[in-house]
Amino acid sequence: MLEHYHHNISVCAQKVRLVLEEKKLEVVEHHIDLKARQQATPEYLAINPRGTVPTLVHDGRPIIESTIICEYLDDRFPDAPVRPSDPADRADMRRWTKIPDDGIHVACGSLSFAAVFSDQVRGDTPIEEMAARLKQLPDQNRARRQIEIMEKKFDSPIVHDAIRLNERMLNEMSGRLKDHDWLAGNDWSLAEACLIPYVERLHRLGLAPMWADKPGISDWYDRVCARPAYARAITAYPTLDAYDDLLIDRGETVWPDVQQVLGG
């Protein structure tokens, strides 16, 4: 039996859901309410000591880290493969799947927090009280980032770095996609599964103008979104807890801030 512990708008969980849907695998879902801190409960930490989502449990054995989960699923269920058969293409695929771990994942979180989640998490709580709460988080690097972003929003150097890192990723993608339909090999692969959630997050923030002048990305985005698995895993996936997906509502105000950082 496959069990997937995840959150509806977690970019890492979206990767895994895409692979599960592409392979048409049956899975028992367990939604983890991040705002309610369910990821920090003893029950969840027993299967994922890092307290992150997602976690895949297969026949009682937990597997963590989203890209590792995706490769495990391809090893264990090889039908509808999500990795190129050619070794060179597969190596290229792994280069793309490494981009989130090399900084884009943190950049996505920083940009999303500045745009939407800092206000949602804070509510009417004074910043000083929120800072005290954040200092209790196990990940103090994340706590420091969130405190600074909560105080400075788009004036924070952390957010500026996040925007520029996303710009660099999009430039790299355009370099490949201006002459190819897919990021690695001749078809959709794990490269798409690992990067589309981050591009989708930019799109939901109203930041599609970031790639308006970058050949290939818009067509690639449309091709990925047209796959039936995409709607089931991402766009049509329900919001299931207090983290309402307010990203689109913020789009009109986010782009001018980003444009200013990019010098537009």
**Cβ distance 129 to 96 under 8 Å?**
no
Residue of higher predicted confidence among 198 and 149: 198
Question: Can you tell me the mean pLDDT for 126-131?
Answer: 66
Residue 148 has a pLDDT of 84
Print the domain residue range for 61. Answer: 2-76
Among candidate residues 15, 50, 76, the one where a domain is terminated: 76
* Structure confidence by residue, pLDDT tens digits, 46-105: 999 988 999 999 999 999 999 999 999 999 999 999 999 999 999 999 999 999 999 999
Clarify whether residues 155 and 67 are in a common domain. Answer: no
147 domain-assigned: yes
For the ranges 15-19, 111-115, 129-133, 149-153, the one whose mean pLDDT is highest = 15-19
- Position 36 pLDDT exceeds 60: yes
Q: What is the CATH number of the domain that holds 164?
A: 1.20.1050.10
Clarify whether residues 9 and 107 are in a common domain. Answer: no
Mean pLDDT over each residue of the chain, to the nearest integer: 89
Question: What pLDDT band is residue 136 in, cutting at 50, 70 and 90?
Answer: low
Clarify whether residues 142 and 231 are in a common domain. Answer: yes
CA dihedral 102, 106, 108, 110 (to 10 degrees): -150
Residue 85 has a pLDDT of 96
User: What are φ and ψ of residue 178, in 5° steps?
Assistant: -65, -20
Domain count, the chain: 2
Residue 140 has a pLDDT of 73
Angstrom distance (rounded) from CA 260 to CA 244: 28
Clarify whether residues 115 and 56 are in a common domain. Answer: no
Residue 264 has a pLDDT of 61
**Cβ distance 22 to 229 under 8 Å?**
yes
Sign of torsion over alpha carbons 113, 260, 221, 188: negative
| Three-state DSSP state, 5 | strand
Burial class (CB in 10 A: 0-12, 13-18, 19+), 141: exposed
Could you count the other beta carbons within 10 Å of the beta carbon of residue 175?
13
As a whole-number percent, the residues of the chain with pLDDT over 70 amount to 86
Angstrom distance (rounded) from CA 153 to CA 159: 7
Clarify whether residues 251 and 138 are in a common domain. Answer: yes
Tokens of 224: 């990925």
160 domain-assigned: yes
